[in-house]
Structure 1
């Protein structure tokens, strides 16, 4: 997948196969990929994930976090789904990340179809108070940069972060790591349960390779039109 400009991933967060299928059909040709996560996968199963992603590039966002052997085995089991992006939690540590990367390399024989391994840094629903409550005495920016550097050194291809950390991560890590940004909201949108948000243009200008947009698209009266408007905005930002 090329990331010459910031690309758009639509998050199809629902427990309903019919609803997700309807969204996927509406958005065909309007988005660069779809994201399926915990809600859809747990409710509908991996066969449904495979079927729904037949006409879309797939970001499989299950955020694995366990002992290294379990995460490695889990990723091998997910290989037949053939996502192009998949996630683990950076807080699993360097050994878990390295084993995860190794499992994907083995499953895909080191070939170009290997899914890119993304490490989730600090969830976009968290802020400094949230980190303090779980015993982390640093700002979200400090924690994202710390975890991000560790994850890339351990073998992750990229990171999931908020747009607010993009500039700092690019300064620390350069342009090679893939940076994927959820928590994108359109101007005037409700931020829902997100705390660290930005607009598509802001994220693109800050260096995002991919943005993930869920409710602003799926709750719209015309999801395809909103997706197209975001794509137009991203093209303008990259020109």
Structure 2
């Protein structure tokens, strides 16, 4: 396990103490981690400082979605935390994404975090898109549209389902990053996500980075489960 491992572990814990205890207890040193709303809203920047002291690459998953000026100012503050990846909702539009990118450049003291935008949440399916959002496009086509919009606005990549990664790569180019949640080990429950895949399948579909959560954090042996995900990713080429 090292900084080159492209698998971010979602630290979906209520408190920072629980998150840090989990990582320490399971000897998951320096692995990439994702900090979402639940943990960041409880602990604030302090949890980022703690993780950085332990040399964890960090994806700060706050999904900003507001008027461009507000997002710009928020990103200036987040850039100062020196995380690796931050995100916005693509549904905020091109001007908001451009403002986010400018805010990151203005606020970064060192390396500028990668900016990725969320296309469609993995909890959504075709029925939700058509009924709740009243969107006539098919889900995959709409996700691709949002990815193209994001690229034109300066984003470095998108959060998308593994099932949309290949078409997004085809539309936006191989260098456009695809970060895919909804990763489950074989035999794991899907929980509240619909468009899911195993690490090996996600890699074949064109994912650059994976986000895995409950398949690891709820496992009897979390370290072994995380290592299994890493091995599935690494061994994919040998299994073709």
TM (norm. structure 1) is 0.93
What is the distance in 2 between the residues matched to 1:27 and 1:89?
33
Of structures 1 and 2, the one scoring higher in RCO (CA 8 A, sep 6+) is 1
Contact 1:158 1:178 in 2 (8 A): yes
Following TM superposition, the consecutive aligned residue runs of length 4 or more in structure 1 with deviations greater than 3 angstroms are none
Which residue does the alignment assign to 1:98?
A: 98
Secondary structure (helix, strand or coil) at the match of 2:80 reads helix
Determine the structure 2 residue equivalent to 1:138: 137
Structure 1 residue runs without a partner (length 5+): none
- Segments of structure 2 that go 5 or more residues without pairing to the other structure are none
CA contact (8 A) 2:199 2:229 kept: yes
Q: CA deviation at 1:54?
A: 2.5
- Superposed CA RMSD in Å reads 1.8
**SS state of the match for residue 182, structure 1?**
strand
**Which is further off, 117-126 or 79-88?**
79-88
- 1:191 corresponds in structure 2 to 190
Question: How far apart, in 1, do the equivalents of 2:92 and 2:234 lie?
Answer: 36
User: How do residues 7-156 of structure 1 correspond to structure 2 at under 5 angstroms?
Assistant: 7-25=6-24, 26=26, 28-29=28-29, 31=31, 33-55=32-54, 56-108=56-108, 113-132=111-130, 133-156=132-155
* SS of aligned partner of 1:236: helix
Q: Which moved more, 1:132-141 or 1:146-155?
A: 132-141
Counterpart of 1:118 in 2: which secondary structure? strand
Give the conservation status (yes or no) of the 8 Å contact 1:128–1:138: no
Q: C-alpha displacement at 1:28, in angstroms?
A: 2.8
Who is 2:174 aligned against? 175
**In 2, are the aligned partners of 1:3 and 1:210 still within 8 Å (CA)?**
no
Give the Å deviation of 1:50.
Answer: 2.1
Structure 2 counterpart SS, 1:39 = helix
Query: TM-score scaled by structure 2?
Result: 0.92
More off after superposition, 18-27 vs 130-139 = 18-27
Deviates more, 1:122-131 or 1:49-58: 49-58
**What are the superposed Cα offsets for residues 25-56 of structure 1, whole Å, 9 maximum, x if unpaired?**
2253473x100000001122221232133220
Displacement of 1:105 in angstroms is 1.4
Tell me how far 1:3 sits from its aligned partner.
Answer: 10
Q: Tell whether the 8 Å contact from 1:184 to 1:199 is kept in structure 2 after alignment.
A: yes
Give the CA deviation at 1:173: 1.2
Q: 1:30 to 1:42 in 2, by over 3 A?
A: closer
> Structure 2 vs 1, CA of residues 3 and 40 (structure 1 numbering), >3 Å: closer, same or farther?
closer
